[in-house]
Amino acid sequence: MTIRLLPHPILTPLLTLIWLLLVNSAAPGQILLGLLLGWLIPLFTLRFWPDRVPIHQPLTLLRFLFLLIYDILVANVIVAFRILLGPKHVQPAFVVVPLDLRSDLGISLLANTICLTPGTVSAWLSPDRRTLVVHGLDVRDPEALVTTIKRRYETPLLKVFEPC
Amino acid sequence: MLDILLSVLILTGAIFTFIGSLGLARLRDFYTRLHGPTKATTLGVGSLLIASMIHFSAQGEGVSLHEILVTLFLFITAPVSAHLLSKAALHRRVESQAQVPAQIEEAETQTHFAAPTVDRL
Amino acid sequence: MLNLAVIIAFGLVSAALALTFWRLLRGPDQPDRILALDTLYVNAIALLVLLGIHLNSSLYFEAALLIAMMGFVGTVALCKYLLRGDIIE
């Protein structure tokens, strides 16, 4: 019964928060309207949502988020310097990262993370979802890059989404 | 004091936005160009939006937080569009400075649908 | 102080727009042009936010939000067209 009436317990407060940010006020009326929208929208869009993924170890996820914010800042500065130095100082390369993650959400989060972090863009996912091809802006040591991606970003995501 | 903070944020934002576009104009192949806009511009617009948030909150008409929405939206969508763009480029075999892995070449030749032949968009 | 910073920032973002526009016109391949278009959206958002600060009005925020959303949808649609030769399957 709870599942039918409240299909996404996390989505409802999130939508309420987005509504409040959108109208840029926290008046009681707006909170009520936001709650109503947050309750109705998941109810109507229920069929479009993929299966819910259980989240283990929320603390690891939080730590991962902070690591991510720090890495985004560093990434921007590094890429900015590479661009200013000019095209002669970059050494682009494709590297192939074998994936241990299996869930769709995990893989998409990893791909997004790679796009936001130092000099790498996830370029291509193999149709069988076993490997991710990453394009690096300045790759001196492809092996080290693969190891860094696997240790720094994939391990926390594995802990959160697929503990076994 | 607030003025100095705001000025620094605005200038950082503008410089990063500029560097992102500079990378787009200056680098040599498509895949390296992809790096400039996805990274430099997200931080550039991000810090501009933070500046706007502080500016309007300091006006005294309540806290202004709706800029967070745009920032969040840009941070979520930038990687997705970068990935799609590079996928489209690999599909169309856009020239690359780096060696494209053989795996991709194989998979892209096997796909049954033909690439659209358009001269201009 | 703030005014000067905003005016310098206007100059930088406009230069960024010009560079992006140059890539849009020149871009040897279609993905290049789509990327340039995507960057153009982001630069337009930056310009709108700056204008909002300069004119001291938060009216421009909605426009920035709309550009962010529509720009993303446009980029995805164009990429999908290149990948599949069709947008709605």
Among C70, A84, C9, C47, which Cα is nearest to B36's? A84
* Nearest CB to A83 within list B26, B76, B104: B26
Q: What is the pLDDT of residue C14?
A: 92
Q: What is the mean pLDDT of residues A75-100?
A: 80
pLDDT in tens, A107-129: 888 888 888 876 778 777 777 77
How sure is the predictor about C15, in pLDDT bands with cuts at 50, 70 and 90? Answer: very high
Place of tokens 């000025």: B7
Percent of chain C with pLDDT strictly greater than 90: 9
Contact with chain B for residue C38, Cβ under 8 A: yes
Complex ipTM value: 0.85
How sure is the predictor about B112, in pLDDT bands with cuts at 50, 70 and 90? Answer: very low
Q: Report the mean per-residue pLDDT for chain A.
A: 79
Q: What is the mean pLDDT of residues A143-150?
A: 80
* Nearest CB to B19 within list A73, A83, A126: A83
A134, containing H or E segment = strand A131-136
Q: Tokens for A26?
A: 């926290």
Cβ–Cβ below 8 Å for C33 and B84: no
pLDDT in tens, A32-56: 888 888 888 887 877 777 666 666 7
Cβ–Cβ below 8 Å for B121 and C8: no
A residues 2-61 near B, CB within 8 Å? 18, 21-25
How sure is the predictor about A160, in pLDDT bands with cuts at 50, 70 and 90? Answer: confident
Q: What is the pLDDT of residue C11?
A: 92
Percent of chain C with pLDDT strictly greater than 70: 96
The residue type found at C18 is A
How sure is the predictor about C89, in pLDDT bands with cuts at 50, 70 and 90? Answer: low
Cα separation, B11 vs B44, in Å, equals 9
Q: Report CA dihedral (B17, B23, B24, B28) to the nearest 10 degrees.
A: 180
Q: Domains for chain A: give ranges and CATH numbers.
A: 2-48 (no CATH), 58-161 (3.30.70)
